Amino acid sequence: MLNADPSGDTLGGAGRRHPRRATRLEVRETTMRNHVPCSVRRRRRLLRAGLAALVFGLAGAGLPSLAMAQALSSGAGGVVNEGPSGGGGSSSDPFGHLPGTMVLDAVIRDVRPGTTSGGHPDFETFLGEVRLGLLRDTLDENGKPVLSGNFAGTQLNSVFRDSSGRAIMPAMYDPARGDTAGSLQVRTDRRVTSFDSFRSWYNDVEGVNQSTVIQLTLKRVPGTSRFVFDSAVDEPYRSLGGFFAINGQLWGDSARNRAGLMSNFFFTTEVSTIFTYKRGQGLVFTFTGDDDVWVFIGGRLAIDLGGVHPRREQSVELDRLSWLEDGKTYKLQVFHAERHTTESNFRIETNLLLAPSDDALFD
């Protein structure tokens, strides 16, 4: 995405499934460690069926269920791992009983830019700022996002913030909570071509996209309950100049990034997870990046950063979500798109304890 200073409040400004051999391509060793061979996926699917049952069955027990989930997943590409201080807590780290990392699967679907013959018309063809309302606020029966029919959306000109100063989705704005209003602008210029073009963003469509699965490792910040994945800091992405997860794979590299490296732009990312909601625990999920990102919690929209835009951020405080019930387990799903050169940023920060769900892996 285009470069911009993410700190200011004023924003202004105008598949087919991949062949199995794709994961065997010789790419950078550090990148390859983050990819999941196809032969492992179905074993993990069975494993996570047991893991999901365990999490659902022991949700009321809190952290012990995570320790048991770790034991269940050990030796098979564990999905929840203990850090050096995991398992007990200490005076130096009051959160040492939490896992050191959380490992989530992400489906990457690669498309060709709309500027090339046979390319995708939604990629490398639009510019601008955050557009709200491109999607319906609920997922379809298959757990996929659906266009609202407003192909232009409403532009976010300045940020809406909660009483803690965090950027929030304007639909969450509540002056009674001390939130600060931003500003919006009605637009008529499209940011998505059609219902048909959007269908291949998060579904495998032969001849249009190719897909693979990577792993995202969220690391716990020492001394806190916060877990972070940050493409600006975590390797191999830092060395690659951004969130370029499929360099040398699928449709292949297409453009130079801001670091001057050839990179595979023009892809979408889908992450599906489960968690147990605990009311009053200050649970927050934050996404920072570009371009489009939508986060659905319990099947309903909670973060709306649609459109082709520079690096932007939104948070959701789960206690604001009236449809969540204390002690129940829900899905949290992230739908992201990297649609334009020359940057790609992807950052998740949360104090939720997330376990993977295979919903995104087999559509």
State pLDDT tens for residues 241-260.
Answer: 999 999 999 998 778 887 88
Write b or e for each residue in 256-266: b if 16 or more Cβ atoms lie within 10 A of its Cβ, otherwise e: ebeeeeebbbb
State pLDDT tens for residues 50-68.
Answer: 444 444 444 443 433 443 3
pLDDT at 8: 39
Which residue in the block uniquely carries the two structure tokens 């639009």? 126
Q: What is the mean pLDDT of residues 146-150?
A: 98
Taking 3-state DSSP, the helix, strand and coil percentages for the chain, each rounded to the nearest 5, stand at: 20, 30, 55
pLDDT at 262: 85
- Which residues share a beta bridge with 228? 219, 349
State pLDDT tens for residues 317-351.
Answer: 999 999 999 999 999 999 999 999 888 999 999 99
Kindly tell me if the per-residue pLDDT of 41 is higher than 60.
no
pLDDT at 341: 86
Residue 113 burial class via C-beta count within 10 angstroms: exposed 0-12, middle 13-18, buried 19 and up? buried
**Cα-Cα end-to-end distance for the chain:** 28
Kindly tell me if the per-residue pLDDT of 190 is higher than 50.
yes
> What single letter denotes the amino acid at residue 193?
T
d(CA 143, CA 343): 29
> What single letter denotes the amino acid at residue 332?
L
Q: What percentage of the chain carries pLDDT values higher than 70?
A: 73
What are the extents of the domains in the chain?
20-360
pTM: 0.80
pLDDT at 202: 98
pLDDT at 139: 98
218 near 228, Cβ under 8 Å? yes
In Å, what is the CA distance from 38 to each residue of 26, 48, 79, 271?
A: 15, 16, 17, 17
What does pLDDT average to over the chain? Answer: 81
More confident residue, 40 or 204: 204
Greatest alpha-carbon pair distance for the chain in Å reads: 61
Q: How many CA atoms lie within 13 A of 357 on its CB side?
A: 21
